[in-house]
Amino acid sequence: MKSYIHYILFCGLFSLIISSCQNEKFFELQRPPEFPWKSVSDFEMAPPQAYNAAFYGLGGWGGCYGEDLTLDYILSDVGGFIKGTSEGLNADQLNLRNFTNPPDNSTFESNYTGINSINAALDWFYETSNGDPFPTASEFNKEKNIKRIVGELHFMRAYFYFSLVRHNHPAYQPGQVNDFKALPYIIHVPKSQSEILSPKFGTTQEFYDLIEADLQKAVEMLPQKFETGMHPSYQYGRANKFAAEALLARVYMLMGKHSGAGKNNALAQLDDIIQNGQYELEKNPIDNFTKDKDSYTNESKENIWYAFYADAANMANGFSDLKKSYYTRCFPWNDGGGGKGVHFNYCGWHQYFLSEYMCKRIGWWDADSTLTISAKRDKRFEQTYYFFLGRNKYKGEGVPPDSIYDPHPKVNYNTLYVDKYFREKNTPSANMPVIRYAEILLNRTILRFRAGDKQGAADDLNQIRKRAWDDKVAGMDYESSTEFLTGSNITEEIIHTERIKELSGEVEWIPYLQSLQLPITLGDRKETEVVPGMGVVNPPYKGWYWPISPQELQFYLSK
Amino acid sequence: MKLNRNSLSFFKDGQLKKYYLIMRLTWLLILILTLPISASVWSQTMSVKLKNSTLQELFVQIEKSSNYRFFYNNDDVDVNQRISVDIEEKTIGTILNSALEGLPYSFKELESNLILIERKGDKPISNGTIIQKQNPISGKVTDSSGSALPGVSIVIKGTTTGTITDVNGNYFISIVPDNSILLFSFMGMKTQEITIAGKSTINVTLAEESFGIEEVVAIGYGTKKKIDVLGSVASVSSEDLVKTSSSSVLNALQGRASGIQISQQSGMAGSDYTVKIRGIHSINSGNDPLWIIDGMPGSANDLNPSDIQSVDVLKDASATAIYGSRGSNGVIIITTKMGKSDKGEISFNYKSGVSNVMKTPSDYGYANTTQWFSVIDEARKNSGINTPWEPMDILNINPDIVKPLSRQEAMNTNNNWFDQFTRQGTFQDMNLSSSRGTDKGSVFFSVNYYNQKSVIRHDDQRKISGRINADFKPVKILNLGARVNIINTTGNSGSYTKMYPWRPIYDANDLEGTGYWNVHSNQVAQIDSKYNLNSNETLRGIGGLYAELSIPFIQGLSLRTEGSFDYSIRNTSNWQSAKIRSLQSPNDGSAAGEGSKTYKSENYNLYSKYNRTFGNHDISATIGTESTRSNIYNRSMSAKYLLGSYQELGHDPGFLGSMEGRQIYEDYLRSYFGRADYKFKEKYLLGISIRRDGSSRFSPASRWGNFTAYSAGWIISEESFLKKIESIDLIKLRGSFGQTGNNQVAFNRSFSYYVNSFDYSYGSKTLLSAGTRLSVLGNPELTWETTTSYDLGIDYGLFKNRISGSVAWYLQDVNGLVLAQPLPQSAGLAGGNEIWANVGRIINKGFEFSVSSINFNNKNFKWTTDFNITTNGNKVKNLTNDLDSYHKGIWMNKWYTRTGGPVRAYALAEYAGVDPEKGVDLIWEIDKPLFDATGEIKRTGRKIPGTDDNVSNTFSDTKKTPIPTYFGGLNNTFTYKGFDLSIMLTYSGGNYIYDSEKQGISRAGYGEWPAINAEMVAESWKKPGDNAKYAQLRWQDNYEWGWDTNAPNLNSPTKIGDWTFTPGGGASYKSNQHSRYLYKGDYVRVKYIEFGYNLSQNLCKKISIKDLRIYVSGQNLFTFTKYPGWDPELGDSNWGNVGGEGYASGDYTMSRTFNLGASLKF
């Protein structure tokens, strides 16, 4: 009997030990992959990656901020091209307006990298946490930080998709069916390989709807400005409510929602910024680009949103603005770098100046490329542009003593470069305006003009023109001059050219034309020098977008 | 006591606590089961109720209820005799007395729970005649060393009557027919048959079984007689492991067993080895076999070869499936020694030796100063440069050169830089061990001291290790034991580089007082231990406890529990004096870094074994569970501006560099396994093993996997039609089929995770230092790679086992290779747009053959031979859809792996000689459009110049790989009286090695390469018409003849592409990475020769010792190869990385070693 007891005892214990081992706790890692946001402070790290992707890109070249501006400058009628140079960008292809292959896939990748991690944070906020990820957080924290962070995430997702849809889809056509599909429409983190390989592809309309919705949420959730109690990092280079309204205004302009009743139009957004934003124009145009100096914040009263490059620790990431050097001819990140004057540091990579066509259109050059009084009395010419004399005039007579000759061996003609970014000695750490008050005024000018409010348009534009007016050169003040605008002498061409003088190389020109359904002209190109159909491109701007790269497309096709 | 899951609180809390509690519970279980067990038939009680039953039924009942077994002679005892017994709780002795009362039988209790039933007085034999009872037979059984062997089975042949030897090796049998034969058998020893022939005392010396069918091999969670093993298992004995001078078990294993290939990765002290069993089984995951040391998974790197009893290499699925997800790459089981002699034994071994490099720079073909200048000057002249080359043209590139060197000074210098980096190596190896065994247990103890100074200057290693193996038998049914091995390894890592032969090394007038010329860039100064130190120390403890309980009420059933650990701490320290640091970082003083890595691994096994024979049926089964936990914690720090003069990081350094302290690895495995083997009539065998593994490397959804293997065998030699053939001792046909896994998959590929990094930050770092990105999208379906293995083999023994061995064919179908599947950019993953999945498949197959023979054997002279050869090849069946659809394959530098080809084939442009008219290197052109469209690599038939562009756009499809297609070893041993001579050869071939060093030095460049190929002086192209070995020497590798890929050429097969001629030069041939430098890696190496002398036993007795052997040996004595590089065996085997196996980058050769040693036993 005793033996049977032993036997039962043994079998029982043995079975128990064996069966007890079937629990998953055994496999629990002491150091599993960490969830990144366990506190409000942690959650603060969610938005920066998006700004990083937009302004620094992956590895420094692919940020959409620099990419969009550069391509816009080159492809439009604004940029002029030094033939025979081909450093860095595929200049020939761009000059031909050849949209066969994307010039830089890394921007596409950096945009989706930013989007995917934003989606992760939003999924967690809305779905996992049901909109209240930190229930024990103070109400102040929830309002000033958590809500603001989510607002930033919406804002940046809109920023990325706005860049992508303009890059890879045809221009939005107001009142038309915008059903073109090319881009993956990803608003949640994919959970599997098959989900990545078979994404939903969004129509142009869907993307614009998403961007509008994201920006509307951003306007609702973002504060007007930094306040004590918010995370201190929010002070520098981050989006606020007015940045969201400004971006939304750009979107509405492209969607043809220029003005009207209610808030869902561009003019309403701009009005709010002007009335409530407490922004104003700086005294000098260059002040927007030099006030940051050694400070983290851009102290310009005009800046609504700026790209942060000021921290020396971020220097390695600060190369996105390198692309701008294509139309500035400066090598900005050397200690000795800088724009016009003693800090000028020539770089042979740079190959785009302001087109001769545009120089003449804005009235700064006369027929033989010499400067007009209009240029000389404009502070912007002196402060934000750089005029080079062609090398063949090196020994000529009548050359101004402070003129600089273009050192490029191929350039034997006068050129004018955008030179607003690198005027400071320590230019790599200069913060860059992304949205500033001048653009708001210029946008409202054209919208007011188109809406029939010509006096209102003149009033807005006069602020810009007056700031640029050099009394000493002109010999009179702006209001006394014939240049002063009223509802009766303002024209649309004046508004356009003023925009070029103020914002070239800074805010994209082509979306402006598309918003107004204006043709994209050739600039310095001849009809025979571009891909057929890409001469003067009229609405609906057929073919004016890049296809998804073949490498990217192959994934979807193979699936 | 009531136990249920809830009462086991340890399953809820900390894992470690739980782990130990499980062990404690098992010990408790054993204790509970052990306590009631008594040790005699007169103390163990039971109840029996039999009515009109047979004696046999009584015996069966007692056997079931106790640990006793009955022995009797069928001719003497009629077990069908009817009896009736009704006894409650009496001793077994009482029960037997009662049952046998009135019957002509008596019983006697023997050792090992045997009860002998014997007839009283004279007894009849089968033919009915009466024989006279003999005087008892007695004697002693010893092993070849004279030590007593307890537990030897002695059976009268043809009966089950017998006994076993006691603790002193003595035996006694009371009744033995006069004309009978005694069979003496013992595990691991050759069975002996001795005819009684009237003798009353028979002393027997059993010889150890070296390769016979009685050999016992370790299989997973147990041992088995080799004849019963159905899998492919190769074994290496302890004697063979101690013959080389290396302190490494791996070195000692080289060439010893079929199917296992071992190669050393460098000639430095303590360098790692690459071990592959039956080739490779994975592209991205590990190919390392699983090592089991006394039941504990771990590394064998630090083990003392003298401590090892046997090494068993498990190769096929039937052998390794019991290890489940870790079995795909094979399993190597190491069993350490245990005490076995009643008298005890003390052994002392000492050997010492010297070593030298096997090749010198001049052997390799480096130019001396004169030749160096000759090449450079000729290159400049050929390129139209008439100014003499100045050494400062090169030296100036290095900002650390502060003292100039003129051309004439350089030409007057011809330093022997190689001697500055190398030296004559030495080593000492001392081993002291002692053992003793009794019937209650045994102890083995050893201490080892090993000190090596390798041929690389400042490269030293010292190892001290100690081991205690103790086995204890407190009661008859319980064995307890412990294994403890402590190893302390300290060393310095030397380094080696090349120098310009014309560059001075020393400078007596050095202003900085170091004595070196340009000390800040002087490679010899950089390794000077006064200024540079790279030290390391490892403290490792391996050990464990086991308990094995023979379940008393189920005959043949035992329960074993093993708890093991492997802990190590490795500290590394590097220090560099400000005196030699680069001037690039001036004024930042001396610098140092320290690191400490703690590795902890714990393993727990609990399993039961059942072995039983029922007439013609032999059954054995094992069932159990295993749990393994391991982790690594890493700490490191570095600093500059060190204070103090000691060679260490010191206190409060001026500038703190990097700092890390974190757990970098953790891995948990839990398993359930079982194995059942069945043998019928000693000739038909069947086996099945199954394992269920769960791993923390994978997500819960894919965590668990099952691995099953089936095997069958037929011992044909036991059939009557072969039994008649005396020359055949064994022919066993065996086959297996089964699945195993490879869990050496990189971590963190199953789980999605985020990374907070400064790289993703924005804004002021002081305010917010990091941004968060989704870095990796984990694949929850990812699991281990699965290998389906097929194995067919024949084991044979011929001519009384004078010839024995095995032949096997194997095929391994590796499915679900873990490969990175590229994802579109829209995946937006910061860690790379890819996801790892089980997608690829490769086939790996080959043959193995091994033979051991006694070629000659008489009283004074014996000659034995052991030979093995393995062939191996693999083929990729598929990769990912992406890689296959584009014909892309996996390209890594010089290799590609593509579907339809072997793993990692060289993809180099195919060299086509030197153009006799133009003096440039040629390569064979391929049809590039065809390649782009289909992936097919096909020659156009045209030779084109080897310009940089052409070389980078041209591939070959020779399917040459760095993986040997055959390898093995040959060992011959001769003994003559007291002398013995062993000659061991290892060989390998069928592989190719790309000699990057030879490629690099075979061009003039602009004089930037420290070494230049001396052959180029005389054998480079000089003039049109020359059939030269090397192209014309040209400065900066810039030639006048080039190639225009797009030029129309109607005369060519492709109608496009033609020569160009640019006066003065215009085509770059700098990238000369083509197949010219791809060499066959075949070699035969005389691994060692050992000559020894054993002192005669008479002399030994006179000086009161048991045994004395002195010997001399040499290692790596000769290498027969056509490979022109440093050493065909060397290779960086970091398989997953570019620069891996088969890529020789100028590493130093292995050393040739000569040893003198003595072995003494008391």
Q: Is B765 in contact with A30 (Cβ distance < 8 A)?
A: no
Q: Which residues pair with B564 in a beta bridge?
A: B544, B603
- Listed in sequence order, the residues at least 6 apart from B925 whose beta carbon sits closer than 8 Å to its beta carbon are B939, B940, B941, B942, B943, B944, B950, B954, B1054, B1057
Q: Mean pLDDT over all residues of chain A?
A: 86
Q: Would you call B823 an interface residue with chain A, using a CB distance cutoff of 8 Å?
A: yes
List strand residue ranges (DSSP E) for A176-230, in order: 181-184, 201-203
Residue B946 one-letter amino acid: G
* Residue B25, pLDDT above cutoff 50: no
* Residue B730, pLDDT above cutoff 50: yes
Separation of alpha carbons B291 and B313, rounded Å: 9
Identify whether the C-beta of residue B610 lies closer than 8 Å to the C-beta of residue B619: yes
- Listed in sequence order, the residues at least 6 apart from A125 whose beta carbon sits closer than 8 Å to its beta carbon are A131, A133, A150, A153
Per-residue pLDDT of B268-306, as tens digits, reads 776 778 888 998 888 888 888 999 999 889 888 888 888
Confidence of residue B121 (pLDDT cuts 50, 70, 90): low
What are the Cα distances from residue A325, in Å, to A69, A314, A345, A407, B1157?
11, 19, 11, 15, 75
| Rounded mean pLDDT, B644-668 | 88
Per-residue pLDDT of A61-115, as tens digits, reads 668 998 899 899 999 999 988 876 655 567 677 888 999 887 777 889 999 999 9
Q: Would you call B826 an interface residue with chain A, using a CB distance cutoff of 8 Å?
A: yes
**A49: helix, strand or coil:** helix
Confidence of residue B626 (pLDDT cuts 50, 70, 90): very high
Q: What is the pLDDT of residue B586?
A: 61
Complex ipTM value: 0.92
Q: Which residues pair with B993 in a beta bridge?
A: B1079
Distance of CA B1061 to the CA centre of its chain: 56
A17 contacts in chain B (CB < 8 Å): 22, 25-26, 29, 606, 625
* Residue A535, pLDDT above cutoff 50: yes
Q: What is the pLDDT of residue B536?
A: 94
* Residue B1032, pLDDT above cutoff 60: yes
A182 contacts in chain B (CB < 8 Å): none
Query: Chain A residue with minimal CA distance to B34?
Result: A6
Query: Chain B residue with minimal CA distance to A185?
Result: B826
Q: What is the pLDDT of residue B122?
A: 46
Q: What is the pLDDT of residue A318?
A: 52
Higher pLDDT, B133 or A211: A211
Q: What is the pLDDT of residue B213?
A: 47
Which of B:868-897 have CB within 8 Å of A? 881-882, 885
Q: Would you call B761 an interface residue with chain A, using a CB distance cutoff of 8 Å?
A: yes
Distance from CA of A470 to the nearest CA of B (A): 36
* Residue A334, pLDDT above cutoff 60: no
| Rounded mean pLDDT, B994-1020 | 91
Q: Is A117 in contact with B663 (Cβ distance < 8 A)?
A: no
* Residue B373, pLDDT above cutoff 50: yes
Distance from CA of B877 to the nearest CA of A (A): 20
Confidence of residue B208 (pLDDT cuts 50, 70, 90): low
Q: Would you call B821 an interface residue with chain A, using a CB distance cutoff of 8 Å?
A: yes
DSSP states of B406-451 as a string? -HHHHHT----HHHHHB--EEEEEEEEEEEEEETTEEEEEEEEEEE
Q: Look up residue A504 and give its two tokens.
A: 């070239």
Q: Is B825 in contact with A108 (Cβ distance < 8 A)?
A: yes
What are the Cα distances from residue A318, in Å, to A57, A307, B90, B744, B1151?
9, 10, 93, 40, 52
What's this model's pTM, rounded to 2 decimal places?
0.77
Separation of alpha carbons A137 and B224, rounded Å: 66
The 3-state secondary structure of A349-364 reads: CCCEEECHHHHHHCCC
Higher pLDDT, A20 or A434: A434
* Residue A465, pLDDT above cutoff 80: yes
Separation of alpha carbons B618 and B227, rounded Å: 13
Report for B632-636, B640-644, B1094-1098: range of highest mean pLDDT: B632-636
What does chain A come to in residues?
559
Per-residue pLDDT of A32-52, as tens digits, reads 888 899 999 999 999 999 999
Query: Chain A residue with minimal CA distance to B607?
Result: A14
* Residue A406, pLDDT above cutoff 80: no
* Residue B345, pLDDT above cutoff 90: no
- Least CB-CB distance to B666: which of A30, A49, A55? A30
Distance from CA of B774 to the nearest CA of A (A): 5
Q: What is the pLDDT of residue B1131?
A: 58
Best B15, B90, B692, B760 member to test A by mutation, with max A CBs in 10 Å, is: B760
| Rounded mean pLDDT, A308-330 | 66
Confidence of residue B29 (pLDDT cuts 50, 70, 90): very low
Q: Mean pLDDT over all residues of chain B?
A: 85
- Least CB-CB distance to B703: which of A12, A27, A184? A27
Per-residue pLDDT of A347-362, as tens digits, reads 666 678 899 999 999 9
Q: Which of B565, B647, B640, B560 is nearest to B599 (CA)?
A: B565
Separation of alpha carbons B1020 and B381, rounded Å: 14
- Listed in sequence order, the residues at least 6 apart from A167 whose beta carbon sits closer than 8 Å to its beta carbon are A68, A102, A107, A108, A545, A546
Per-residue pLDDT of B899-920, as tens digits, reads 899 988 988 999 999 999 999 9
Q: Which residue has the tokens 């400062």?
A: B392
Q: What is the pLDDT of residue A5?
A: 53
The answer to which of A61-70, A254-263, A372-381 has the lowest mean pLDDT is A61-70
| Rounded mean pLDDT, B1071-1077 | 89
Best B631, B663, B762 member to test A by mutation, with max A CBs in 10 Å, is: B762
Q: Is B559 in contact with A14 (Cβ distance < 8 A)?
A: yes
Q: Please count the residue pairs, one from chain A and one from chain B, whose beta carbons lie less than 8 angstroms apart.
A: 227
Q: Is B631 in contact with A236 (Cβ distance < 8 A)?
A: no
| Rounded mean pLDDT, B664-681 | 93
Q: What is the pLDDT of residue B765?
A: 81
Q: What is the pLDDT of residue B475?
A: 84
Pairing of strands B137-143, B204-206: parallel
Q: What is the pLDDT of residue B123?
A: 45
Q: Is A27 in contact with B668 (Cβ distance < 8 A)?
A: yes
Q: Look up residue B699 and give its two tokens.
A: 């997500």
A315 contacts in chain B (CB < 8 Å): none
Q: Which residue has the tokens 């045809």?
A: A170
Percent over 70 (pLDDT), chain B:
90
* Residue B573, pLDDT above cutoff 80: yes
* Residue B939, pLDDT above cutoff 60: yes
A149 contacts in chain B (CB < 8 Å): none
Q: Is A105 in contact with B762 (Cβ distance < 8 A)?
A: no
Q: Is B826 in contact with A30 (Cβ distance < 8 A)?
A: no
Q: What is the pLDDT of residue B359?
A: 87
Q: Would you call B65 an interface residue with chain A, using a CB distance cutoff of 8 Å?
A: yes
Confidence of residue B1136 (pLDDT cuts 50, 70, 90): very low
* Residue B20, pLDDT above cutoff 60: no
Q: What is the pLDDT of residue A216?
A: 98
* Residue B1096, pLDDT above cutoff 80: yes
Q: Which residue has the tokens 């070959």?
A: B956
Query: Chain A residue with minimal CA distance to B881?
Result: A558
Confidence of residue B164 (pLDDT cuts 50, 70, 90): confident
* Residue B230 exposure: Cα atoms within 13 Å on the Cβ side: 27
* Residue B22, pLDDT above cutoff 60: no
Query: Chain B residue with minimal CA distance to A115?
Result: B828
Q: What is the pLDDT of residue A210?
A: 98
Distance from CA of A313 to the nearest CA of B (A): 7
Per-residue pLDDT of B611-623, as tens digits, reads 888 888 989 999 9
Higher pLDDT, A314 or B1052: B1052
| Rounded mean pLDDT, A159-170 | 97
Confidence of residue B407 (pLDDT cuts 50, 70, 90): very high
Query: Chain B residue with minimal CA distance to A57?
Result: B760
Q: Look up residue A434 and give its two tokens.
A: 């992304």
Confidence of residue B1148 (pLDDT cuts 50, 70, 90): low
Per-residue pLDDT of B574-609, as tens digits, reads 999 988 888 876 667 899 999 999 999 999 999 999
Separation of alpha carbons B1063 and B1015, rounded Å: 27
Distance from CA of B669 to the nearest CA of A (A): 8
Confidence of residue B342 (pLDDT cuts 50, 70, 90): low
DSSP states of A292-332 as a string? -TTSSS---TTEEEEE----GGGGGGTTGGGGGGGGT-B-T
**B128 CB-contact burial (10 Å; exposed 0-12 / middle 13-18 / buried 19+):** exposed
Separation of alpha carbons A545 and A548, rounded Å: 10
Is the preceding peptide bond at B780 cis, omega within 30 degrees of 0? no
DSSP states of B952-1003 as a string? HT--------SS-SEEEEEEEEEEETTEEEEEEEEEEES-EEEEHHHHHHSS
Separation of alpha carbons B400 and B517, rounded Å: 11
**B679: helix, strand or coil:** strand
Separation of alpha carbons B137 and B118, rounded Å: 15
End-to-end CA distance of chain A: 69
Identify whether the C-beta of residue B234 lies closer than 8 Å to the C-beta of residue B289: no
Separation of alpha carbons A262 and A271, rounded Å: 12
Q: Which residue has the tokens 């429409």?
A: A185
Q: Which of B462, B433, B465 is nearest to B450 (CA)?
A: B462
- Least CB-CB distance to A26: which of B662, B670, B881? B670
Q: Which of B501, B500, B532, B503 is nearest to B517 (CA)?
A: B503
| Rounded mean pLDDT, A322-346 | 62
Q: Which of B110, B158, B137 is nearest to B204 (CA)?
A: B137
End-to-end CA distance of chain B: 53
Distance from CA of B619 to the nearest CA of A (A): 20
- Least CB-CB distance to A196: which of B33, B554, B824? B824
Query: Chain B residue with minimal CA distance to A41?
Result: B768
Pairing of strands B921-926, B939-945: antiparallel
